[in-house]
Amino acid sequence: MKAVIYKKFGSPDVLQLAEVEKPKPAENEILLKVHATSANAYDWRHLRADPFLIHFMGAGLFKPKHPILGADMAGTVEAVGTNVKSFKPGDRVFGEGGYGGFAEYACAGANRFVMIPEGISFEEAAAAPMAALTSLQGLRDKGKIKAGDKVLVNGASGGVGSFAVQIAKSFDAEVTGVCSTSKVDFVRSLGADHVLDYRSEDITRSGKKYDLILDIAAYRPSADYKRILQPGGMYVMIGGSIGRIFSMMFKSIIGNRNMTVMIAEVKQADLEDIAGMLGSGKIRSVIDKQFPLEKTAEALRYLEQGKVCGKVVVRVGS
């Protein structure tokens, strides 16, 4: 089968299209014929081994442990492991398999997948898992979002942010999205009630306060956000500068109760919730650009530039 592999850490230039052996599913896994996958910061961080600590968190010490990247995937089940009863060959599924999506076939735990709702394409399904799971868990589980809450989504225009704005709206919150100048209209089109352009105003000096702040682009001291957090409100850091994330992890450990970092977990029940929201039209995957498998390196380069509005999808096959 064809796959995009990497044999050493580096820029997207080290990725190459290669012929590799088709994987076989272990007893709790499914073998997926991949139709689409999406690119995440998670992929390029593994590729570049950035931050360095990622070497010890699954990327491999001296050479890549998982030579095929691509965490999000959507496709048809080709075969199932002996213990898998929830899926059968031919099922249309999507999920977050961890690794292996930049390929014609991939194996991953069956409990990391759910059925694609009717009317949703492979591309739309592949765009959702990591970004939508992160948004849902950040807003609902860590942020305890409720109707009427004033929610600030910082980094509203990217993959995670485009889902976070929509999911927050689905909880009937009053949503303010923060993005750069050229993306203001895009964030408004996602349903944000208010949009702030961080290039033209200091969002932490507006005087407005929020019940929940989802910080997907943490590039400034979290202390700045204390100014705009309501008493009893919650600040949840999702991504941005690695230095800021580590500093926030430390602060959470020493007991900062209303400011925290969240690392998303793959939970089948949450994927079911996301499938439900996609199927009912409560949320939609917004795809900025699609690339064929052979151009995966270009897809990652494009994502890394930070210019995306929504998600970058890699199509596999015709």
Ligand X SMILES: NC(=O)c1ccc[n+]([C@@H]2O[C@H](COP(=O)([O-])OP(=O)(O)OC[C@H]3O[C@@H](n4cnc5c(N)ncnc54)[C@H](OP(=O)(O)O)[C@@H]3O)[C@@H](O)[C@H]2O)c1
* 34 near ligand X (CB under 6 A): no
Q: Which helix (H) or strand (E) holds 177?
A: strand 174-179
CA distances from 19 to 3, 231, 256 (A): 6, 57, 50
User: Applying CB under 6 A, which part among 111-119, 235-243, 273-281, 294-302 lies near ligand X?
Assistant: 235-243
Q: Which helix (H) or strand (E) holds 178?
A: strand 174-179
Interface residue with ligand X, options 15, 41, 278, 313 (CB under 6 A): 41
* 240 near ligand X (CB under 6 A): yes
* 271 near ligand X (CB under 6 A): no
* Least CB distance to ligand X at residue 155 (A): 4
Q: Is the dihedral of CA 107, 288, 266, 52 positive or negative?
A: positive
* Least CB distance to ligand X at residue 179 (A): 3
Q: How far apart are CA 264 and CA 226, in angstroms?
A: 23
Interface residue with ligand X, options 143, 159, 177, 233 (CB under 6 A): 159
* 262 near ligand X (CB under 6 A): yes
Q: Render 219-258 in DSSP notation, one character per residue.
A: -S-THHHHTTEEEEEEEEE-SB-HHHHHHHHHHHHTT-TT
User: Applying CB under 6 A, which part among 2-10, 200-208, 214-222, 290-298 lies near ligand X?
Assistant: 214-222
Residue with smaller CB distance to ligand X, 40 or 204: 40
Q: Are 5 and 291 in contact (CB under 8 A)?
A: no
* Least CB distance to ligand X at residue 183 (A): 4
Question: Beta strands of 43-163 (E only): which ranges?
Answer: 72-80, 92-96, 105-109, 113-115, 150-154
Burial class (CB in 10 A: 0-12, 13-18, 19+), 99: buried
User: Applying CB under 6 A, which part among 12-20, 91-99, 291-299, 301-309 lies near ligand X?
Assistant: 301-309
* Least CB distance to ligand X at residue 218 (A): 8
Q: How far apart are CA 96 and CA 94, in angstroms?
A: 7
User: Applying CB under 6 A, which part among 20-28, 139-147, 225-233, 257-265 lies near ligand X?
Assistant: 257-265
Q: Which helix (H) or strand (E) holds 127?
A: helix 122-127
Residue with smaller CB distance to ligand X, 209 or 220: 220
* Least CB distance to ligand X at residue 291 (A): 15
Residue with smaller CB distance to ligand X, 13 or 249: 249
Tokens of 6: 């990497």
* Least CB distance to ligand X at residue 61 (A): 21
Interface residue with ligand X, options 34, 36, 113, 157 (CB under 6 A): 157
- Nearest 5°: the CA angle 266, 39, 121 is 80
Give me the residues paired with residue 132 across strands.
Answer: none
* 155 near ligand X (CB under 6 A): yes
Interface residue with ligand X, options 238, 283, 300, 313 (CB under 6 A): 238
* 303 near ligand X (CB under 6 A): yes
Interface residue with ligand X, options 10, 263, 276, 292 (CB under 6 A): 263
* Least CB distance to ligand X at residue 308 (A): 5
Nearest CA to 39 among 109, 129, 119? 129
List residues binding ligand X (CB under 6 A).
40-41, 130-131, 134, 155, 157-161, 179-180, 183, 198, 216-217, 219, 238-240, 262-264, 303, 306, 308
